[in-house]
Amino acid sequence: MTLAQALFAPRAVALVGASGDAAKNSARPLRFLKKHGYAGRIVPINASRSQVLGERTFASLAEVPGAIDHAFIMTPGDSVERAIEECGARGVPVATIFSDGFADAGPEGAARQARLIARARELGVRVLGPNSMGLVDVPGRVALTVNAVLEMDALPAGTTSFVSHSGTMLGTVLSRGAARGLGFAKLVSVGNESDIGTGELVELLAEDPGTKVILLFLETVRDAARLAAAARKALAAGKPVVAYKLGRSRLGAALARSHTGALAGEDTALAAYFRDCGIMRVDQLETLIEIAPLLSGRTPPDLPRAARVAVVTTTGGGAASVVDRLGLCGIETVAPDSESPIIDLTMTATAGRYTAALEDLLASPQCDGVLAVVGSSAQFHPQLAVEPIVRSKRNAKPLAVFLTPHAERSLALLAGRGVAAFRTPEACADALAAYFAWRSPGRRAAAASAAWPPDLPRRGPLDEAQALKLLASLGIPVVEHAIAQPPGYAHAIPYPVAAKGLSAEVLHKTEAGAVCLGIADRPGLDREIRAMLERIPAARGILVQRMESGLAEAIVGYRDDPVVGPIVLVGAGGTLAEIYRDYALRVAPVSEEEAAVMIGEVKGFATLRGYRGLPRGDVRALAQAVAALSRLALVSGRPVAEAEINPLIVKREGVVAVDGLVVMKE
């Protein structure tokens, strides 16, 4: 029996703590399993009753005859541990734990959860939850959940599966889907993800013949590497993965030491992560519900330019409400062979004309996708309104439909024929934007690695001279510099110079008074060294650097993010990256080509690209430096927590790092 079988197709389920009070949550799984036609054996476990809701109960799992494939545990407090022991003793391969009070309830609960899972591993019991609302296999008629949405009499079956951190969202997705004729395959509430997590479930769904599109509702990412691998596997199997992720408005600021850390807030790092593993991201909740038909059977378009969408409509205002938002997403509206960007049939629509216009657009090489908008007729004449659309040949190109009135029958007719239909202009534009932004997963050269300079420690703090040595070893041009030592602090760098107190303990050198720029001559340097040593008595020497200038400054950063792993960042220098959040971020390492794309995303680098006749900077050398720093991800053991060049000076020819910060792990 595989994990997937035990989870989604158990021959017998035990309901531990099943209540006889039909009003209670813990009575629901029994009711729902029966109501929706579960074909296997249902075994309620309840020590204080001989039967619940007409089913014979057992006092404990130990007493149940025959094999149990899946236990659903609803008992409170310590009895969860007891139930897991019994699962182990009886050889139950999977337990779903609805009970809460574990990692969802502070550090003590987290410790309790860790103990529980350690024991479950010993016993060979796989665990979904705790704090999971359970799961549903709609075509398989397994409604093993406490989610009230199963009160619905019939659930439409489909080929879209759903994994969610929020149990409630199972109900949201199922009920809203049903109202517009969208069916589902498997739906799982992962709860605390103590054992079976989102990544492993996506792996199972990638192998599931009943699943064609995978939707995720994420509050966080707990198993980034596994989810990334699973998403790649799903894509390889022709199954798009789409995420709606909470937490866009919060920042992982507590984790930040360098600027890179502050900029790579949780959400921007996650956006880079999703992009890298080919997971589409949607902005609006209902997009997640409505997007599946748009994606089913499709692969990433990997468009090298702005997407072009053609529009046919029976209402100008309705089409404009979508087109306006597409424009905000950078998607162009085009009309092949016409002057207006929208083919508006408001006063002249017939089924024949609509069909002809639609067929023309779907066949045209001048657009990447088609938007069809239908007005009032969708409400009162659903068949007439959607017939031209469902008849159209729409394999080559995505087709999205927006209906302006309240028109559930039309939505259902379209859904039934596999056409993506949207209730709001915002979700419609969001879905098209997500599709066109969809990229194939980044390729990794598996054998690539980067060397660590043999004379640098692999643990403990590095001072700036060591940081510059590391940068140089990666192939990044660094400023001409020397370490001036007492008593004479001699050096051979031509004036003017910059001086910095060398100490691995001082992270923010400017604020600590450990930096002095533009020193004109030797007497000036002597004065600054004396002043600096008073402020930084522990300095092991003075780093003397040549003063450099160029056309612009950049910040280039690397970070081994605790959530998504190595990332690389490039942003406009000075205060621009911070004030305007003007930077681009990717999962590391990146190629020079990808680094060039990142540089193109940074608005402030307009000044390097010939803006207003300004001289052009060496964008290629900048891209090489970004790619070089990102190779820290390839050093064996990944000893670096964060590295930052701020600024990297960009010249007409070449770049030079004038300030390096490296923070090691530990």
Taking phi over 0 as left and psi of -120 to 50 as alpha, with beta for the rest, 297 belongs to: left
Minimum separation from the CB atom of position 321 to a copy of itself (A): 5
Q: Shortest approach of a copy of itself to residue 52 CB, angstroms?
A: 21
Q: Which is nearer to a copy of itself, 378 or 622 (CB)?
A: 378
How far is the C-alpha of 563 from the C-alpha of 555, rounded, in Å? 22
Which of residues 149 and 525 has its CB atom nearest to a copy of itself in the complex?
Answer: 149
**Residue 254's CB: how many other CB atoms inside 10 A?**
6
Shortest spacing between CB 407 and a copy of itself, in angstroms: 8
Measured from the CB atom, is 313 or 503 closer to a copy of itself? 313
Per DSSP, the residues of 539-594 read -S-EEEEE----SEEEEEEEEEETTTEEEEEEEETTTHHHHH--EEEEESP--HHH
Amino acid at 307: A
Binding site for a copy of itself (CB under 8 A): 100, 147-149, 151, 164-169, 171-172, 175-176, 178-179, 217, 219, 246-250, 284-286, 315-318, 320-321, 324-328, 346-347, 375-377, 379-380, 404-407, 424-426, 511, 575, 579-580, 582, 603-604, 606-607, 611-613
Angle at 10 between CA 9 and CA 12, to 5 degrees: 145
| Least distance from a copy of itself to the Cβ atom of residue 306, Å | 12
Residue with tokens 């995505």: 398
| First-last CA distance in the chain | 43
Question: How many residues are listed for the chain in this entry?
Answer: 666
Rounded to a whole number of angstroms, the minimum distance from the CB of residue 305 to a copy of itself is 18
3-state secondary structure string across 539-551:
CCCEEEEECCCCC
Per the CB < 8 A criterion, the answer to whether 27 and 17 are in contact is no
Residue 118 or 606 having the CB closest to a copy of itself: 606
Q: Which is nearer to a copy of itself, 552 or 633 (CB)?
A: 552
Strand order in the sheet with 126-128: 41-45, 12-16, 70-73, 94-97, 126-128
Least separation in angstroms between CB 233 and a copy of itself? 26
Give whichever of 299 and 346 is closer to a copy of itself, judged by the CB atom. Answer: 346
121 vs 535 by CB, closer to a copy of itself: 535
CB of 12 to a copy of itself, least distance (A): 27
Which residues, listed in sequence order, are joined to residue 369 by a DSSP beta bridge? 309
- How is residue 193 annotated by DSSP? -
The least distance separating a copy of itself from the CB of residue 377, rounded to whole angstroms, comes to 7
DSSP strand pairing (342-344 vs 308-313): parallel
Core vs surface per residue 115-150: b (16+ CB within 10 A) or e: ebbeebeebebbbbbbbbbbbbbbebbbbbbbbebb
Smallest gap from residue 166 Cβ to a copy of itself (A):
2
Which pair of tokens denotes residue 74? 């609803």
Tokens of 535: 């402020």
Helix (H/G/I), strand (E/B), else coil: 109: helix
CB of 604 to a copy of itself, least distance (A): 6
**From the CB of 440, what's the least distance to a copy of itself, in Å?**
28
**Residue 175: strand, helix, or coil:** helix
| CB closer to a copy of itself, 349 vs 634 | 349
Q: 593-608 in b/e burial notation, b at 16+ Cβ within 10 A?
A: ebbbebbeebebbebb
